[in-house]
A and B are shown apart, each in its own frame.
Chain A
Amino acid sequence: MAYSELVKRFDRVRDYMRDFLIFGFKTREDFGQKSARTYDNERRRIESWLGDGLRWEYRPGGKAVFLSVDASGLPSNPLYRAWQSKSFTDNDITLHFYLLDLLSDGRPRHAEEVTDELADRCERLFELSTVRRKLKEYGELGLLDMQKQGRRLCYALSPCSLDALFPDKTGLKEFLGFFGETAPLSVLGSFLAGRTGDGDAQIRFKHHFIVHTLEDQILLTILEALRAGRRLELTNVSGRDGRESVCRVVPVKLMVSVQSGRRYLVARRLDQRRFSTFRLDYIKALTPLPGQDGDENYRALAELRLAHAWGPALPGNERTQRFSMTVAVDEEHEPHIIQRLHREGRGGEVARLEPGLWRYTNEVHDVGEMMNWVKTFMGRIVALEGDDQRAIDRFYDDVRRMAGIYGGEV
Chain B
Amino acid sequence: MELFSEVYGCYYEVVAEILRAAPLNRRQMEALVGARGYGESTLQLIPKLLDQNAWPLLEEREGLFYSRLEHPPVLPVTALECSWLKALLDDPRIRLFLTDEQLTHLAKALRDVEPLYRQEDVLYFDRYLDGDDYADPDYRRRFQAILTALREGAFLRLAYAPPKGRLRLGDHRPLRLEYSAKDDKFRVYTAKAWHRAFQGYHVLNLSRIREVGPSAERYCGRLDLDGWRRRHRCAEPLLLCVTGERNGIERFMVEFSSYEKQSEYDEKTKSCTVRLWYQRDDETEVLIRLLGFGPVIRVLGPARFVELMRERVLRQACLSAGGAGWAGAGPS
Contact = CB atoms under 8 A, between A and B. Distances in A.
Interface in B252-274: 253-255, 257-265, 267, 272
A399 B113 CA distance: 55
Nearest to B314: A408
Given A86-B4, A202-B177, A160 B109 contact: yes
B238 interface: no
B136 interface: no
A48 B38 contact: yes
A188 B9 CA distance: 12
B75 to A, nearest CB: 6
Interface residues of A, number: 152
Contact of A188 (B6, B38, B81): B81
A206 B317 contact: no
A344 B127 CA distance: 8
Contacts of B56: 94, 122-124
A93 B180 CA distance: 40
B251 A260 contact: yes
B328 A334 contact: yes
A398 to B, nearest CB: 4
A183 B176 contact: no
B101 interface: yes
A373 B99 contact: no
B328 A403 contact: no
Interface in A368-406: 372-373, 375-382, 396, 398-403, 405-406
B291 A93 contact: no
A104 B94 CA distance: 31
Contact of A258 (B8, B126, B298): B126
Contacts of A48: 38-41
A25 B265 contact: yes
Contacts of A333: 328
A184 B83 CA distance: 12
A170 B99 contact: yes
A5 interface: yes
A375 B78 contact: no
B74 A161 contact: yes
B57 A94 contact: yes
Given A160-B77, A207-B258, A402 B294 contact: yes
A380 B295 contact: no
Query: Which residue among B13, B38, B293 has the maximum number of chain A CB atoms within 10 Å of its CB?
Result: B38
B194 interface: no
B39 A165 contact: no
B246 to A, nearest CB: 10
Contacts of A122: 56, 68
A208 B258 contact: yes
Interface stretch (A32-40, A67-75, A289-297, A316-324): A67-75
A44 to B, nearest CB: 8
A143 interface: yes
Contact of B182 (A69, A207, A239): A207
Given A171-B147, A227-B116, A258-B182, A157 B102 contact: no
B306 interface: yes
A184 B119 CA distance: 10
Nearest to A356: B328
Given A97-B57, A261-B255, A343-B130, A159 B116 contact: no
B85 A165 contact: yes
A207 B124 CA distance: 13
Given A97-B15, A171-B147, A192-B81, A378 B313 contact: yes
21 contacts: A23-B249, A24-B263, A69-B260, A70-B258, A86-B5, A86-B8, A122-B56, A160-B82, A203-B177, A206-B182, A223-B116, A227-B116, A240-B247, A255-B123, A257-B125, A260-B251, A328-B326, A356-B328, A379-B325, A403-B317, A405-B298
Q: Which 8 A-B pairs have the closest CB atoms?
A: A142-B79, A330-B328, A379-B312, A48-B39, A175-B97, A71-B258, A84-B10, A403-B317
